[in-house]
Amino acid sequence: MRIPADRSGRAPGTPGTPHAPATESLIGEVLEGRYRIDAYLARGGMSTVYRGVDTRLDRPVAIKVMTPQYAADPTFLVRFEREARAAARLDNPHVVGVYDQGRDGENVFLVMELVDGGTLRDLVHQQGQLSVRTALSVLEPTLDALAAAHAAGLVHRDVKPENVLISSRGEVKVADFGLVRAVTSTTMATGDVILGTVAYLSPEQVETGAADERSDVYAAGVVAYEMLTGRPPFGGDNALSVAYQHVHSDVPPVADAAPGVPEGIAAVIDAATSRDALDRPANAGEFLRELRRARLAVGLSLAPVPVPLRPDRAPGTPSPPRPTTVRPGDGQPTAIQPPAHGNGRPTSAPPDRPARSSAQLARRRGRRRMFIVLAVILLLAAAAALGGMWLANRWTSMPAVLHQPSADAVLAVKDAGLHAALTTRHDNAVPSGDIAAADPPADTRQRRGATVSLVVSSGRPVVPHIARGTSRGAAGSLIRAADLTPVTDAAANVYDDVVVAGSVVATKPAAGQSAPIGSDVLMVLSRGPQPQAVPTVAGKLTEDAQNKLLVAGFTLGPVKTEFRADVPAGTVIGTDPPADAMAPHGSPVSLVLADSKTVPSVDGGTVADAAQSLRAAGFTVTIGTPVFDATVPGGQVVAIDPPAGTRIDPANPDVTVIGSNAVTVPSVTTMTVSRATQVLADEGLEAKAWSLFGGDNAIVTSQQPDAGALVEPGSTVSLTAWP
């Protein structure tokens, strides 16, 4: 990750920097007239964090100020505000609270809960490999926080030890919910985002950039691996090599690097770090439930979380003393100079000692030379003897220990002057507890004190116990950890009223049975509740039909209706699914009731009154063409279609009303022929008059048909007039 430079151009913490990051210039400022910045806390690629005070509430807070490259991006600002609001809605004791967000000039910031203490990164750095209890005491609240986010539709996307905070009271809290999504929308592939978190990225994040709940599960699993082993599962010279391993390599089983992790707990963590997202728990809540179940199965309780000591970041800390450096000379060997006497000139013999003759000096030198030669010969002989003894004792041979009990083998190795490093593995042929392999082989020459490797057989693998309801991924990890191969067969899956479909019901061979290394262990999966036939309830009263469905083991679904003209409305005519269909035990079955509308009688009324009455009853009324009926006065109902009493579909309640067009013959006697003809014409009738003289002023004395008779429109009325 690139380290941002301060305003002087130097990286923070470099010699000559009087302060921490250049953004310490904000110290003493008050953002939005409310949030006073008091002290610098930390800096990352995206932001700088300060200790501050909410002056309105007099509350200590943490203030995260985003770097200028994000503050200038409108897209980031919109997403930043939306994600901050979403994170602020999270109500969980293990989530760092988000109090406010805002912008003051060029400073875009978040106001958060101040967590005094340190990070999980500090704890791992200080303690290295954590105990199982301590690791789970950190992991479970972390998963609880992620589960709350997943339930609210939030994905963290950057789960790592730096974002897991531990307060001075040992409380575990997860920070930066939503912030990563806001940043990655602006700089999806920048070093600030990718390089700092690549050790915890899921394969799908590396390949496509997409992240969901299972991506957080993977990252949490990698964090768990690092806590239990003291290091991430993958390392490399650069971020690309680490990312490549996440995509193309399986995370090693955690028990390989931390043999003390209980088998069930290791299986849950191994499932969480599966390369295939479908083999991981679906979300943090499921991960947490499986982890707790595995922990309780081995009787392991949680422990108080140690409070990490935050590294000293104060400026001006004195550097440690520099080590003494030995500088090379001019290439000449070092000479030991004799001490100087007087003025440095050679000393001469005392003047009172007589001088020796040349012969005496020669004899003395000869005797001295002979003594020196003899001494050298004696020293060489002694050295040869001692060297032979040393060489003889320096080497030993690897004893033959194959197929011996491990205790005997360790004793034999110790007697040979060697140290034994023991590992275990399954072996189809060597009995449990005996040595299955040794490195180096027997009779190999070894230096005394060397360490040799002894592999102790644990016998043939034993099928592990897998609790009913264990997810397929977790069960597969347990089986693989036992050096066996998990397989499934759809034909072998069974119905189960309790175990959720897709989870493990049993194994074949059963738990506790031994099997050859690598042999298949069939995971029998649940198909869910077994289907059964839906009972016949047609024709029964509604209450009786419901009771029959409940007794058969079904639940009641919403009532449905279906048009039937042959039975009264409300009659039970069937079910959905239909009778005799196979449905899972406990699944909902809906009653199907007959539904219809019965056409009422409207005889004797006018067409208008009948139409109004039918519309009020929910029918769609059409006025049909009137017809002649000698028994029904004009304007009154002759018939309706469909007839009264007919059951029709409520979805199409169409009724046609047909009225009478009969004309009632008026009385025209005593009228003049002219007047009578006009009255009949007004009623749509023709007049045919007969009179003695044929005048229009003749008086009508009789008519046919008689007055009050019902006739068809246009009929002729015969008149007799006088004179």
Which of these, 290, 300, 295, 288, lies nearest to 142 by C-alpha position? 288
Q: Which three-class secondary structure state does DSSP give residue 545?
A: helix
Active site residues: 158
> CA 629 to CA 661: how far, in whole Å?
8
Q: Which three-class secondary structure state does DSSP give residue 420?
A: strand
Give the residues across from 562 on adjacent strands: 594
Give the residues across from 6 on adjacent strands: none
How far from each other are the two terminal CA atoms of the chain, in whole angstroms? Answer: 129
Element (H, E) at 621: strand 620-623
Q: Strand order of the sheet with strand 520-525?
A: 485-487, 520-525, 504-508
E strands, 2-97, in order: 30-31, 35-43, 47-54, 59-66
Burial of 662 (0-12, 13-18, 19+ CB in 10 A): buried
Structure tokens at 360: 């005496």
φ and ψ of 422, to 5 deg: -100, 135
> CA–CA distance from 61 to each of 30, 43, 45, 105, 438 (Å)?
13, 16, 21, 20, 60
How many CA within 13 A on the CB side of residue 13? 8
Output the CA torsion sign for 474, 480, 484, 489.
positive
Structure tokens at 655: 């009724």
Please count the helices (runs of H) and the strands (runs of E) in the chain. 18, 33
Per DSSP, the residues of 368-416 read HHHHHHHHHHHHHHHHHHHHHHHHHHHEEE----TTSBHHHHHHHHHHT
Contacts for 419 with CB less than 8 Å, ≥ 6 apart: 413, 449, 450, 451, 452
Do residues 197 and 157 make contact, with C-beta atoms less than 8 angstroms apart? no
Q: Which three-class secondary structure state does DSSP give residue 266?
A: helix
> CA 503 to CA 523: how far, in whole Å?
9
> CA 452 to CA 409: how far, in whole Å?
11
